[in-house]
Structure 1
Amino acid sequence: MTDREVNFARAIIGERNYRDVPADEVLREAERLLGEWMAGELRMERPKLYDHYALLLLALLQKNRELESRLAALEANHA
């Protein structure tokens, strides 16, 4: 684990306006950051996310990816 604390939003959007960051990128980077945080591989700046909120958010991100994949498969079968 690094001693440096990561700012969750800044790590995702950088210097860009949040409106300029595609939703897919936000979801991908949020999942990566939360996964690393839950594994103890990085630290987050305060206000920190709590374990149960991060776990729920990470599960929702993963479920969203699964459902998008299933929907794409269904659409492909009906095309």
Structure 2
Amino acid sequence: MTQKEQVYLAMERNGGYATFQQLNRIVDTSDWRTKTPDATIRRIVQDNTEFFRLKPGLWALTSCKENVLQRFEIQQENATSICNLFNNF
């Protein structure tokens, strides 16, 4: 399984969204040959269209976009709604 697939599956198991801190905890990077697995996870999420940003540090799967937006009651075009998301955490 590729690193990207591991990150994707971890986010999927987390409900389709995750913070970088959550991903750093739940992705098993023990067999990755990198000295900076946290940076690798961040690069994978930021550079691939399979993921989209809800807020800095909070990302979701593009395939789960509608569900995630509904779950947190975010309107796609309304930036204020994203701020309200973090008031609920």
Q: Looking at both structures, which has the greater relative contact order when contacts are Cα pairs under 8 Å and sequence separation is at least 6?
A: 1
Fold match, TM over 0.5?
Answer: no
| The structure with more strand, counted as a fraction of residues | 2
TM-score for the superposition, normalised by structure 1: 0.32
In our comparison, the structure showing a higher alpha carbon Rg is: 1
| The structure with more helix, counted as a fraction of residues | 1
TM-score for the superposition, normalised by structure 2: 0.29
